[in-house]
Chain A
Amino acid sequence: MVLSANDKTNVKTAFSKIGGQIDDYGAETLERMFATYPQTKTYFPHFDLGKGSAQVKGHGKKVAAALVEAANHIDDIAGALSKLSDLHAQKLRVDPVNFKLLGQCFLVVVATRNPSVLTPEVHASLDKFLCAVGTVLTAKYR
Chain B
Amino acid sequence: MVNWTAEEKQLITGLWGKVNVAECGGEALARLLIVYPWTQRFFSNFGNLSSPTAIIGNPKVQAHGKKVLTSFGEAIKNLDSIKKCFAQLSKLHCDKLHVDPENFRLLGDILIIVLAANYGKEFTPACQAAWQKMVRVVAHALAHEYH
Write the residues of chain A forming the contact surface with B, with a CB cutoff of 8 angstroms: 28, 31-32, 35-37, 104-105, 107-108, 111-113, 115, 118, 120-121, 123-124, 127
A120 touching B34, Cβ below 8 Å: yes
CB distance from B76 to the nearest CB of A (A): 18
Report chain A residues within 8 Å CB of B123. 108, 111-112
The verdict on A104 contacting B129 (CB below 8 Å), with A112-B120, A112-B121, A120-B35 known, is: no
B112 touching A108, Cβ below 8 Å: yes
B120 touching A120, Cβ below 8 Å: no
A7 to B86, CA, bound (A): 37
B128 touching A32, Cβ below 8 Å: yes
A127 to B39, CA, bound (A): 15
B117 touching A112, Cβ below 8 Å: yes
The verdict on A118 contacting B128 (CB below 8 Å), with A108-B123, A123-B35, A124-B35 known, is: no
Question: Which of the residues B35, B56, B113, B128 comes within 8 Å of A35, measured between beta carbons?
Answer: B128
Q: Is B4 an interface residue (CB 8 A)?
A: no
Q: Is B52 an interface residue (CB 8 A)?
A: yes
Within 99-128 of B, Cβ neighbours of A (below 8 Å) are at 109, 112-114, 116-121, 123, 125-126, 128
Question: Which of the residues A31, A37, A115, A127 comes within 8 Å of B35, measured between beta carbons?
Answer: A127
Task: Give the most central of A107, A115, A120, A127: most B CB within 10 Å.
Answer: A120
CB distance from A39 to the nearest CB of B (A): 12
Report chain B residues within 8 Å CB of A112. 116-117, 119-121, 123
Report chain A residues within 8 Å CB of B112. 104, 108
Smallest Cβ-Cβ distance to A125: which chain B residue: B35
A60 to B6, CA, bound (A): 31
B34 touching A123, Cβ below 8 Å: yes
Within 117-147 of B, Cβ neighbours of A (below 8 Å) are at 117-121, 123, 125-126, 128-129, 132
Q: Is B30 an interface residue (CB 8 A)?
A: yes
Within 24-39 of B, Cβ neighbours of A (below 8 Å) are at 30-31, 34-35
CB distance from B43 to the nearest CB of A (A): 16
Extra 5 A-B pairs, beta carbons < 8 Å, given A35-B128, A115-B118: A35-B126, A36-B125, A37-B132, A105-B128, A111-B113
Mask for B42-77, Cβ within 8 A of A = 1, else 0?
000000000010011000000000000000000000
A120 touching B117, Cβ below 8 Å: no
A111 touching B56, Cβ below 8 Å: no
A111 touching B128, Cβ below 8 Å: no
CB distance from A75 to the nearest CB of B (A): 22
CB distance from A7 to the nearest CB of B (A): 12
A31 to B125, CA, bound (A): 7
